[in-house]
Amino acid sequence: MKNKRASNIEVKKINRNRTFRYISKFDRISKPEIAAALGISLPTVLQNTKDLISLGLVQEAGEFQSTGGRKASAITIVKDAYTAIGIDITRHHIGLVLTDLSGRILIHERFYKLFENHSTYYKEMAQRVQQFKVKYIPEGTRFLGYGLSVPGIIDKENKTILYSHALNLSNLPCSTVSQFIQDPCVFINDANSAGFAEIYHESHFENAIYLLLSQSMGGTFIRENNEILSDEPLGDTLYMGDNNRSCEFGHMTLFPGGLNCYCGKSGCADSYCSSKVLSRETKGDLEAFFKKLASGDSQMQPIWEEYLNNLSIVINNLRMLYDSKVIIGGEVGCFISPYLEQLKERVSHRNTFENDASYVTVCTYNVESSALGAALVQIERFINRI
């Protein structure tokens, strides 16, 4: 009898969670629409929304126009009921994002600071983060905490940064990085974080590769799912591998015996496809590279052609491995849209089975996707407890 009661409680929690998630997909929605979409009874939806209203997470939002009968009342989530901040730590800068239950980027800032594994760096980061919080989150607003995105491998217990070639770290306790931050913190790999942000608002998403092309190259494999429902924020959405280090695409060998990689090996894809391959031509300014390219600069054109050729090899290899959509993200993803057809043409030429490359797409977020994804981990942790 006890087990049956526990099971009923769990079912109620799942239905309440699903109800909240579905409401959050719309500006306004009616209760009959929720019941029809989720396949649960209208009385269940009525009870769920009543519970969510009492928790301050949902509110009435007027009425819909009548279609001949009684007007249906509209409901919406209270987006600013809870907030979270995402922090993206890179070798050269720190990105900050504020989000709420809407899961959207509300405010974003970036300050340039060369990473240093020292208390002075962590103290300054905490001070900047606190200033950001005080500036943009009204006093009294319920704050869930911080998500920290780092270019490295995080252990399954979320306690240690096992490896980060980009930051030159190994076996560093996460608590060292967050030692001066007072609120709860959770850590996540930068590529996993960006990939999570990319699909967060999809009610249904297909298998996809998110290819992160920033100062370092990485990625994640997004697994097909109908909705995010798991005790863990990332649940079964992202394939993490046996040791939380799957999808290190930047360290696939692209050209044996080729260029030296920062990881100490040679010929890695990172050395040919990261954003710094392009930005080094314009003193580290990637936007300046693409401005010159768009203007027809004769020096940038051959560099870009070689970059596209190398990137097409990587994408075709990923297609052969995963047979899924490939989303171009990261810093390069912000600028590649005008050249997407050029890339697709090269990818299509390499593909053994297909004559087109419609499976290659561009990311949704052009700014701070990793910081947003990190913040969303805190949002997800909260929603899973509703």
pLDDT for residue 227:
53
Confidence at residue 139, expressed as pLDDT on a 0 to 100 scale? 85
Residue pair 374/88 in contact by the 8 Å Cβ criterion: yes
The mean pLDDT value of the chain amounts to 89
The residue among 73 and 174 whose pLDDT is bigger is: 174
Q: Regarding beta strands 325-329 and 360-362, do their DSSP bridges make them parallel or antiparallel, or are they unpaired?
A: parallel
Mean pLDDT of 367-374: 93
pLDDT tens, 136-170?
998 888 999 999 999 999 998 889 999 898 899 99
Banded pLDDT at 290 (limits 50, 70, 90):
very high
pLDDT above 90: percentage of residues in the chain: 67
Query: Residues with Cβ < 8 Å from 350, sequence gap 6 or more?
Result: 312, 313, 316
pTM attached to this predicted model = 0.86
Asked if residue 209 lies in contact with residue 322, where contact means CB atoms within 8 angstroms, the answer is yes
Higher-scoring residue by pLDDT: 125, 17: 125
H or E segment to which residue 221 belongs: strand 217-222
pLDDT at 230: 47
Whole-angstrom distance, CA of residue 58 vs CA of residue 356: 45
Q: Name the band, by pLDDT with cuts 50, 70 and 90, for residue 63.
A: confident
* DSSP state at residue 64: P
Query: What single-letter DSSP state applies at residue 224?
Result: P
> 4 pLDDT exceeds 70?
no
**Residue 235 banded pLDDT, cuts 50, 70, 90:** low
Please, which pLDDT band fits residue 1 given cuts at 50, 70 and 90?
Answer: very low
Q: Which residues of 371-381 are buried (b: 16+ CB within 10 A; e: fewer)?
A: bbbbbbbbbbb
**What does the block give as tokens for 328?**
């171009």
Burial of 76 (0-12, 13-18, 19+ CB in 10 A): middle
Name the H helices within the chain: 2-24, 31-38, 42-54, 119-136, 174-177, 190-199, 270-273, 276-279, 286-294, 300-322, 330-333, 340-350, 369-383
pLDDT of residue 166: 84
The whole-number pLDDT of residue 229 equals 45
Say which amino acid occupies 284.
G
pLDDT of residue 273: 97
Band of residue 2 on the pLDDT scale cut at 50, 70, 90: very low
pLDDT value for 68: 57
pLDDT-derived band of residue 241, with 50, 70 and 90 as boundaries?
A: confident
Residue 67: predicted pLDDT = 59
Q: Is 193 helix (H, G, I), strand (E, B) or coil?
A: helix
Q: How many helices (H) and strands (E) does the chain have?
A: 13, 16
- Tens-place pLDDT, residues 102-131: 999 999 999 999 999 999 999 999 999 999
Backbone angles phi, psi at 14, to 5 degrees: -60, -45
Q: Which tens digits make up the pLDDT trace of 205-230? A: 778 999 999 888 999 998 876 454 44
- At residue 66, the pLDDT reads 61
